[in-house]
Amino acid sequence: MLVHADWDGGYAGAAVVGFGHAGHVDDDVLEIGSGVGEWLLLGPAGSAGALMDRASASIGDDDFVSLVDLTHGRALVRLTGDDASRVLSKLCGIDLADEVTPNLRAFRSSVAKVVTDVVRDDFDAPARTCCTANDRQGSTCSTCSSTLAPSSDSRSPAA
């Protein structure tokens, strides 16, 4: 679910995270501050209605907010393993070192020439990183990164 709202409005005040950060709203929802006045809510398959209800509950009477179901508009992939950061570094110019991109950070960058929202989400330390991608020209792609051991967590986030 993509939420567009005033960066300082009611939804922003109720959001778990701000721009450049990600956070777990509960066990199965990840909220990403993907842009100024823009949040991406990721949940399990089939949860679009619940995400819409959750976001709607945070909207004040005077807020102008748009909610867009991206269930079929984006893909989500998780890449894990010891060499995942090295693999992703060949496709993305952002430094993915722990000191620069710690857990629960988000950024938008080009990955393999596709505009990509990258989110580091360590399920269980030390496993790491997840990202989604959406080429604003219409094609959709996704990438995820992990530098350490794969997680045993079987959660399958969906946009």
Beta-bridge partner residues of 42: 30
Complete DSSP assignment for the chain:
-EEE--TTSHHHHH-S--TTBEEEEETTEEEEEEETTEEEEEEETT-HHHHHHHHHTT--TT---EEE--TTT-EEE---STTHHHHHHTT--S---TTTS-TTBEEEEEETTEEEEEE---SSTT---EEEEE-TTS-EE-----SSPPP-----EE-
Q: Which pTM value belongs to this model? A: 0.73
Condensed to tens digits (0 to 9), the pLDDT of residues 33-48 reads 989 999 999 888 888 8
Condensed to tens digits (0 to 9), the pLDDT of residues 73-130 reads 877 777 776 677 777 888 888 888 888 888 888 888 888 888 888 887 776 544 444 4
Condensed to tens digits (0 to 9), the pLDDT of residues 52-65 reads 998 898 887 888 89
Work out the pLDDT band at 131, boundaries 50, 70, 90: low
* Structural tokens at position 19: 């721009």
Instruction: Please report the pLDDT score of residue 61 as a whole number.
Output: 80
Instruction: Please report the pLDDT score of residue 68 as a whole number.
Output: 92
Instruction: Please report the pLDDT score of residue 28 as a whole number.
Output: 83
| pLDDT(1) > 70 | yes
Helix-then-strand count for the chain, H and E? 3, 11
Rounded Cα–Cα distance for residues 43 and 26 (Å)? 10
